[in-house]
Structure 1
Amino acid sequence: MDHFEEDSGLLQLTEEQEAEEQHQSDQSVLPTGSQDETQDHESPTQGQEQNSTEEWDTDLETGDAPKKRQNLPHSELYLQACQRTGTVPVSSFFHLVDEPNVNLNHYGVGPMGAKALSIALQFNTDITNLELEDNALQAQGTRYLMEMLQTNISIQSLNLSNNQLHLEGADIISKMLLDNYYIKSIKLSGNEFDDSAAKYFADTLKGDYVVKELDLSHNKFCEAGGEHLGHMLATNVGIEVLNLSWNHIRMRGAVALSAGLKVNSTLKQLQLSWNGFGLIEAEPLGQALKQNSTLEFLDLSNNRIDDQAVTLLCQGLATNDTLRVLKLSCNPMTNVGALTLLKTITNNTKSGLEEIDISTVFVCEAFVELLEEAHQRRPAMDVQYSVMSSVTRNLSALHIFQKFLDNRNESVMDFFKALDKEGTMMVSTSAFRNAIKAADIPLDQRQLDWLVRKFDKNCTATIIYSQFAES
């Protein structure tokens, strides 16, 4: 709390408000006749009568006054605070004030509304999750909330995203986090934080073990910001979920983050979408995946990762055994990169990947076939990809051919033996084509071409059918 000594009394009443309090107090002790005269002029409401007996010298001061207000119902305390700050109460708060989750996102609370909420929440022991996204709180409103958190020890999750906090707000929040023992999750997305703000958070969270989830997405971090946060990762022992999506962390920033990831022992989820990562950034990240043993979720979607960059990532995926989810959609990788990725994962018998998102990549027949083989060993693995109708049609050719053989109680080996009159264990591709057409198997020309390539993988115009011999 030492960091807030300079801010103590932020929520004190103004001189005008104090004068009004004194006026109300004087009215309560006027002679009976005087009271009658003033009552005809203006009758105080029930709330005003109660307020005249309360001590409101300051809003978040320590001493007897706040102790007395602890006995007030939370809704009544909030209403009084709104009256004194001149703000309109958020009606939803009255329904949620005794609930653990309070969602006041998008209500236009503003700085003074935050002051009223801070007064009401100072001694609230019910609320554990407070959502205040998109409320134009600015640095001033955030300062009131941070002062409130010096007393409130129940709130563990706080969402202050999209509140125009800028560098001053980052400074205020980072000071609060220095003495934090209760906030485990804090969302600060979309607050115009720059590299200097990143340094505030990085310096504060070095060695921190309390904060578990940190969302700094949709800000303005660049290389320097990435370096600060990378250095923080190297020493932080608490953060499990870190969201840095929608920034501009590239090159040196990516290298520093990767270096931090190598030695970090707690991070489980890392989101880096929309950061412009490409070949330069993929290499250190691939090396980090070789050494990291805790990361389970990695989001690299909407970057610049092409086939070559995927190959560099695969250097780490070839040995990594902890990653469970990998998101790579909306990158310029092609079927070549997708096939490289799938081969790497299937060859790594210790790989823990359960979900792979390459949903914007159009894969070829070889990918789908390899995936079918992989599913035989790992049926739970979910791979999201795109496929053209021509690929699906080609893949169906083998099933059509097999169904034809099943109806005749034949095997593939039997079919080729019937064509091999000399018993050479080889059949020309032209003979195979003619036999397919003669049997009237319902395959179009493209399906037939693909089936030939399937059996003659080396394009020698000869099918060595001994590979289909039953063991």
Structure 2
Amino acid sequence: MSSSSEVIEESTPPVEVVYQASVTSSMFSVIEQPSLLKIDAPEAPKMILYKKGLYDPGSGEICAKYIAMSDSEVLRHVYYAYPGIKDPGIVDALFETEISRSFGNNGQELYLELCDQMGMCPVRSFYRGLVERDINLRYYCVNPAGVRAMCRALLYNTSVKRLDLSFNYLSLDACYHLGRLMAENVVLTELILTGCKLALRSNSLGAEAAQSLTTALEVNNTITHLDLSWNLLFSPEASNELIRMLARSEVLVELNMSWNGLTSLPALERLLKVPTLTYLNLSNNRLTSISVRALCNGMKKFEGLQTLDLSYNPLLEADSRRIVLALTQRNVTVNTVLMEGVVVDRKFAQTLKEVLLMKHRKNTTVTYGKVLHDYVIKNQDLRHIIMRRLLFISSTKKSTFDVAVYFLTAAKTREAIQPREVMRVMKVSGVVPDEQLLEELSNVFPGPKTDKGGKTIALRKVVEFIHRLWPDKKAIETPPPEVEITVTEKKNKKRKNLK
């Protein structure tokens, strides 16, 4: 500051005094003249209170203490006043009496009212079905948002017992309302959600869905018929945990877990202890020996199961026999065992005959697939197999080509032939050749190598083997060569004819 003041003084030019008045006695001040005395105004009431510390005028800003809590433009314009707030209906909600409206027990009026409030078109089939026993909405393209109104209408309905929503792609919110419906409605006994993408059957349910279902069964394990077929429950951990939870049920009657890729299920032994379980479908899976042992142990310990479906599972021969041997015990109540498509051996077939002859197994039904016999190949000559296969390929309806006759005819003029030449002749004759089969033919009947080292077929050896297999086969007889007639001979013949 000192440096700046010095610069100002140096830069200011000198002031020249032109006139200077002297102070005399005639000049007077305001203080010396009593008529010009200053009269002080009384202090304001707020100022008096302020001096006493009883009043605080504040910062002078309007609603400044509400700025931090506001999301309006007051943060930028401090002196703007807040607009008046319109009552959203709080006064009416608090002081006016709510008008209550009653609806019928069938839910038809309630359904129309809810659709009107939601701005949706009501489903006529559902509206009519509210007074019947069944409501069928298969392939109806139901709007998932409209399921809320349907569930509210069915909440106190006393007539509908079966609701079919198959192949309607429902949302998560729709399933939430369906869950609440099943929890509170005591009349509805059957809910079909096949193909709804997040229901039970044919919905691509995986391990996560199995865990969610297991958690739900911990709270409410009162399902009597459960169909989980055509899903992705192949995870051993998730599927076994679900089966353990189902084993705690006291009302489960039927369980279908087919087409899920199930493999190892040791928890099946616990499942069979459910006293009400009568039907178990595990077909079209990949069950291992562990699962079969668990089933057999469960059948021996617990009674109740009547039908067991294990069709189209890759069961071992020992596993199939183990299931049949379990039927020999009297305490096993299973009377129908389905093993369609399961390949068994001759021991299984013999054991099954003996089991079905027992007195307590007269009404028992067991189905199975093909029976593998203990075949012993007597003739292991590869030449025999190849020649018969060639004859079978050539004997088609569209072709009259005979491979045996062809070789017999070719052997008259040649000693060896290449496989590709045989293939070409077969193609021309309308036969689809097998290149690998002809290659094997050149190996079992080897002929001399070509100049380039290629393989040939020895026709003499082939003919010898054909005479051994098919002695009736003969080569095509070639016609005798035509005799050439000269011109003179022709003229002599004409003259003889004219005479």
Contact 1:323 1:353 in 2 (8 A): no
Secondary structure in 2 aligned to 1:106? coil
- Report the residue type matching 2:321 in the other structure: T
Gapped runs of 5+ residues in structure 1? 1-21, 23-56, 58-63, 170-187, 365-471
* Residue equivalent to 1:104: 137
RMSD of aligned C-alpha atoms?
3.1
- Report the residue type matching 1:71 in the other structure: G
Mapped pair 1:327 → 2:365: no
Aligned match for 1:318, one of 301, 318, 328: 328
* Residue equivalent to 1:265: 275
Counterpart CA distance in 1 for 2:125 and 2:307 is: 35
Secondary structure in 2 aligned to 1:350? helix
Q: Which deviations, in whole Å up to 9, do the C-alpha atoms of 1:115-153 show, x marking residues without a partner?
A: 231132122111111111111113221112223344432
Contact 1:230 1:258 in 2 (8 A): no
* Residue equivalent to 1:78: 111
Secondary structure in 2 aligned to 1:102? strand
1:13-162 matched pairs, under 5 angstroms: 68-71=101-104, 74-162=107-195
Aligned match for 1:200, one of 208, 212, 215: 212
Counterpart CA distance in 2 for 1:315 and 1:199 is: 35
Aligned match for 1:248, one of 255, 261, 281: 261
Aligned match for 1:237, one of 240, 250, 253: 250
Aligned-residue offset at 1:69: 4.4
Contact 2:106 2:156 in 1 (8 A): no
Counterpart CA distance in 1 for 2:188 and 2:106 is: 18
Q: Structure 1 length normalisation: TM-score?
A: 0.53
Mapped pair 1:307 → 2:320: no
Distance 1:204 1:355, change over 3 A: same
Gapped runs of 5+ residues in structure 2? 1-87, 374-499
Contact 1:323 1:351 in 2 (8 A): no
Mapped pair 1:292 → 2:302: yes
Contact 2:356 2:364 in 1 (8 A): no
Counterpart CA distance in 2 for 1:139 and 1:311 is: 46
Q: Which deviations, in whole Å up to 9, do the C-alpha atoms of 1:330-360 show, x marking residues without a partner?
A: 223355534433333434x3337543333x4
In our comparison, the structure showing a higher alpha carbon Rg is: 2
Counterpart CA distance in 2 for 1:345 and 1:207 is: 44
Counterpart CA distance in 2 for 1:352 and 1:225 is: 39
Q: Which deviations, in whole Å up to 9, do the C-alpha atoms of 1:209-250 show, x marking residues without a partner?
A: 632111222221121122112322442222111111111221
Secondary structure in 1 aligned to 2:145? helix
Aligned match for 2:232, one of 198, 215, 220: 220
Aligned match for 1:210, one of 210, 213, 222: 222
Q: Which deviations, in whole Å up to 9, do the C-alpha atoms of 1:81-137 show, x marking residues without a partner?
A: 334444443332233221112222221113112123113212211111111111111
Distance 1:355 1:314, change over 3 A: closer
Q: How many residues align?
A: 277
Secondary structure in 1 aligned to 2:357? helix
Counterpart CA distance in 1 for 2:125 and 2:345 is: 49
Mapped pair 1:337 → 2:370: no
Aligned-residue offset at 1:260: 3.2
Counterpart CA distance in 2 for 1:114 and 1:258 is: 39
Counterpart CA distance in 2 for 1:334 and 1:207 is: 46
Aligned-residue offset at 1:305: 2.1
Aligned-residue offset at 1:163: 1.1
Question: Which structure has more helix as a fraction of its residues?
Answer: 1
Q: Structure 2 length normalisation: TM-score?
A: 0.50
* Residue equivalent to 2:451: none
Counterpart CA distance in 2 for 1:260 and 1:152 is: 28
Counterpart CA distance in 1 for 2:125 and 2:349 is: 49
Q: Which deviations, in whole Å up to 9, do the C-alpha atoms of 1:285-334 show, x marking residues without a partner?
A: 22222112110111111211243221121232221531122211122335
Aligned match for 1:283, one of 263, 277, 293: 293
1:359-438 matched pairs, under 5 angstroms: 360-361=369-370
- Report the residue type matching 1:215 in the other structure: D
- Report the residue type matching 2:334 in the other structure: L
Q: Which deviations, in whole Å up to 9, do the C-alpha atoms of 1:23-61 show, x marking residues without a partner?
A: xxxxxxxxxxxxxxxxxxxxxxxxxxxxxxxxxx9xxxx
Contact 2:221 2:246 in 1 (8 A): no
State the identity as a percent: 27
Mapped pair 1:189 → 2:222: no
1:436-447 matched pairs, under 5 angstroms: none
Distance 1:130 1:73, change over 3 A: closer
